Amino acid sequence: MDIAKRYMIDMLRKKDFDQIFMIDALNGQAYSYEAFFRRCLRMADMLNDIGNEQQIVAVMENSFQLASLYFAMMFTERHITVIDPQKGKDETDKIIAQLESPYVAGNKEWMPDDELDVEKQPDRDGIRERVIQGIERRNFDSLFLITFTSGTSGNTKGVKHSLNNLILTAIALHNKVGTASDSRLLHVMPMTYMAGILNSLFYPFIAGASVVITHRFSIMSARNFWKTVQDYEVNLFWLSPSMLMMIDQLDRGDIGEKYCQRHDLTFLVGTAPLSNELRQKFNKRYQVSVYASYGLSETLFVSVENDASLSRSDVNCVGELLEGVVCKITQSGELYIKVPWMYLGYTNENTNDYFEGEFYKSGDLVRIDRDCLYITGRSKDLIIKGGMNISPALIENVVGQDGRIQENVVIGVHDHSGEEKVCCVYKEDAEGKDILTLESEIKKSVLEKLGKNYAIDYLWRVDNIPRNINGKIDKNELRRQWEVNNNG
């Protein structure tokens, strides 16, 4: 039996099925392992009755229903494709059009009745055995999940993973971090991206922890962050650097500081580089340790910090390599990665183009010192904003459709926290008299066509866009000019 499958079965045999596994903070309902998996088994039965389509497509916001759907898929031989509902209509339609025979499950009418009181007739041992039998039957190596991430070409890439991949990397992460089984995680990552699936659902499941489901992170949830943490006695977090910054900026009271003094909290951070300034500021205020991590949609987790690596690391460290991870560094400093949980391929790209033998070409520039991995730069022309990969080409294409724009280029610029923001540098076809109207219409067009994740943060009108000796737009020079103009 495979390692991942055996690990799950052993864990479920030992688990107290009366223990709370998932709490739906949106309706106040708590679900034990028995109640949760009873629901998932019923959902699996309903999925198997909908037809012959092997691909279930979910265009859904963060919800207990979507969280349940991921686990229900373990008891079918189908696979699930998830699309962020905040994507623009054009992009969503484009993604669905390229899928083969999809069943789009954006509506919830086919899901089990939420009002069913599954606790009235508990059958813990019976449910446990049905769950184990379903896992034993499941092919862990077959396609299980497709998520979408932006590529440098402007195309949104579908990344394919097996259930085996998700479980193996969750086990390796758990072995490195050592999350306690009485931990409780607050789920605030977007649930249609890998950080909201692997980091915030499958990882706590493998660690034996419980999960609190709430809305995806926003300014509103940041204002109420510590109240939610206190209400549900949360002590485990997966956050992005921008989330850390917003929590600190909008925390006007002392609830968070007092809560941190009384509880042992674990803050894991990923999806984007964590600046040393932000780390130190957050650590000092709340008296907690923040552990950075590194991974990609294709390779999943590669490294993570723990107490041991924190004691000997320096700025820009993203922790120790997980067991089983093999790295090569090219002469230019680019990281090539080989992992036991490598993705199965892309849906719409030539997967071989991204490999050198068995090693995935990460596009990130790194160094390794005393078994710790350090990110020094990125060769890929992507912007990582709020944990999302943003393709500049997609935005450039939309802005370029405006007849008033002669030329435009999108770059990532850093704010005071070190987070990347989207800056569109543009040159007008003729000198405009109403710049505010033009820029407002450009931002609106990008929002409507691409969605909130691609929102332009800064518009920068210039007389000329610099080019290098080869005639290509010099983005490095634009970034340098931005830094001089805004931080000089």
Are 333 and 452 members of one domain? no
Residues 400, 332 share a domain: no
| Residue numbers of the chain with a pLDDT score lower than 70 | 1, 51, 106-122, 151-155, 377-381, 417, 430-433, 468-471, 487-488
**453 and 360, same domain (yes or no):** no
- Would you say residue 361 lies in a domain? yes
- Are 376 and 382 contacting, i.e. CB atoms less than 8 angstroms apart? no
Same domain, 192 and 49: yes
385 falls within a domain: no
Residues 263 and 409 in one domain: no
Residue 384 lies in a domain: no
- The two tokens of residue 359 are 């090693």
pLDDT for res 272: 78
Q: What pLDDT score was predicted for residue 149?
A: 85
| Total domain count, the chain | 2
Contact 210, 1 (CB under 8 A): no
- Residues 321 and 430 reside in one and the same domain: no
What is the value of pTM for the model shown? 0.81
Q: What is the CATH number of the domain that holds 402?
A: 3.30.300.30
Residues 359, 423 within the same domain: no
Exposed e or buried b for every residue in 334-360, given b needs 16+ CB within 10 A? Answer: bbbbbbbbbbbbbbeeebeebeeeebb
Contacts of 315 (CB under 8 A, 6+ apart): 276
Q: Are residues 154 and 228 in the same domain?
A: yes
Residues 312 and 337 in one domain: yes
In a domain, 208, yes or no: yes
223's tokens: 């204002």
**3-state helix, strand and coil shares in percent for the chain, rounded to the nearest 5:** 35, 25, 35
Distance (Å, rounded) from C-alpha 161 to C-alpha 349? 15
* Residues 350 and 442 grouped into a single domain: no
Say how far apart CA 46 and CA 74 lie, in whole Å.
13
CATH of the domain at 125: 3.40.50.12780
Give the domain extent around 285.
Answer: 3-378
Same domain, 335 and 401: no
Q: State how far the Cα of 323 lies from the Cα of 302, in Å rounded to an integer.
A: 9
Confidence at residue 121, expressed as pLDDT on a 0 to 100 scale: 58
Q: Say if residues 39 and 31 touch (Cβ distance below 8 Å).
A: yes
Q: Looking at 344, 378, 412, which one is the last position of a domain?
A: 378
